Amino acid sequence: MNFLQCSQGNVLYINFELIPWDTKVRGRILANNFEELKHVDMWNLRGYAEDIENLYTDIVEKVDKKIGGYDLLVIDPVYKTLGDRDENSAGHMTDLLNHLDKIAMITDTSIAFGAHFPKGNVGGRVAMDRIAGSGVFARDPDTIITMSHATKKKYSAEEGPVTEVEIENLFNVDFVFRSFKEHPIQTVQWKFPRMEPTKFTAKTTGSKGRTAKTNVEEVFMKIAAAMPVGLTKAQLAKACGCNQKTIQKLTAILAAGFNGSKISRDNEKTPWKVASKSTNQEVGQSVA
């Protein structure tokens, strides 16, 4: 991608993911197509992933031995340096990124690391919220660059009448900067072995990810408390964080005699059962 201009410098790419022969093959292809690759050193640590605390000294020594030093360290992927940390723990991820900050300060380099998205296509989320794990990954970095699948159609007459066809291999690159001015989304197209900038902006594909399961007992209590106020189904759904269909089903259960008794069900596939204190009977209702 050549649409962003930056100062060139020496790069140490720390690879934890690709096996050695794959690294060599890709390296030769890239070297034949990118003159800038002569500034990049590859450090293959596939099979030697360690906690960042254990790697700290080795990384600093590697940088010190480089004549002229390095300007950028790339850690790919960063989860290989977690050790026993939990990727979803804000405290653990803060600790991890503090170690990276320390390496950056000691070696006088910038650090870039590769993270991953959750399962599925989450292109519907705000760019900085697409990263898997703790929200620290969205708050700590000075720059976040995400690449998500994109879609755009064009008119073509290559196979007869003019038809609308999908343009293949499109991705939208989103930028989040802490200290620089905003940059618009850039659509790129994969043309081996390059990502080529396009002159148009495609639409990012994907959803906002999986929605949280409704806490039925909590919603019951909210509906019971709100019923005397006379809220509409839409207002109740917004207050409870679920859809109006769920509110309608739960309200029907309440109308059948629920007055604060415990609700339960045998398993996730059976209807909820609500014991009515007044009649000592159970009413069943399926809840989405």
Domain map (residue ranges) of the chain: 8-114, 142-209, 216-285
Residue 131 has pLDDT above 70, yes or no: yes
Higher pLDDT, 147 or 284: 147
Q: What is the mean pLDDT of the chain?
A: 80
Q: Over the stretch 185-240, which tens digit does the pLDDT of each residue have?
A: 999 999 999 999 999 999 998 766 654 455 555 666 666 666 555 667 777 777 66
- pLDDT of 246 reads 73
- pLDDT of 110 reads 96
The pTM of the full predicted model, rounded to 2 decimals, is 0.68
Which of the four pLDDT bands, split at 50, 70 and 90, describes residue 247?
Answer: confident
Query: What is the chain written as a DSSP string?
Result: --SS------EEEEESSS-HHHHHHHHHHHHHH-GGGGGEEEEE-TT----HHHHHHHHHHHHHHSTT--SEEEEE-GGGG-TT--TT-HHHHHHHHHHHHHHHHHHT-EEEE---PPSS--TTS-GGG-SSS-THHHHS-SEEEEEEEEE-EEEE-TTSS-EEEEPPSEEEEEEEESSS-----EEEEEETTEEEE-SS--EEP--S-PPPPP-HHHHHHHHHHHGGGT--HHHHHHHHTS-HHHHHHHHHHHHTT-SS--EE-SSTTSPEEEE-TTT--EEEE---
- pLDDT of 1 reads 54
> Would you identify the CATH topology of the domain 8-114?
Rossmann fold (3.40.50)
Q: Over the stretch 68-88, which tens digit does the pLDDT of each residue have?
A: 999 999 999 999 999 999 998
Higher pLDDT, 163 or 270: 163
Mean pLDDT throughout 36-58? 93
- pLDDT of 129 reads 82
- pLDDT of 3 reads 63
